[in-house]
């Protein structure tokens, strides 16, 4: 994982953001996947 020195250096120089770019990308991919799945399951009934 991360060595303590690198992590301490990173956290001292930058304020810790709750929503990192990687986390936002992951959430976006999950939302798109869920929308496509729901569209596939329920979109053909009407």
pLDDT, position 5: 53
Tokens of 39: 């569209």
Lowest mean pLDDT: which of 16-20, 21-25, 29-33?
A: 16-20
Tokens of 10: 């990173």
What global pTM score does this model have? 0.53
Is pLDDT larger for residue 24 or for residue 4? 24
> Three-class SS of residue 5?
helix
For the stretch 25-42, pLDDT in tens is 999 999 999 999 999 999
For the stretch 3-14, pLDDT in tens is 555 455 555 566
Burial 13-30 (b: 16+ CB within 10 A, else e): eeeeeeeeeeeeeeeeee
């Amino acid at each position: 994982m991360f060595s303590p020195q690198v992590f301490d250096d990173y956290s001292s120089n930058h304020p810790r953001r709750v929503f990192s770019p990687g986390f936002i990308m992951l959430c976006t991919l999950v939302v798109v996947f869920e929308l496509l799945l729901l569209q596939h399951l329920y979109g053909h009934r009407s």
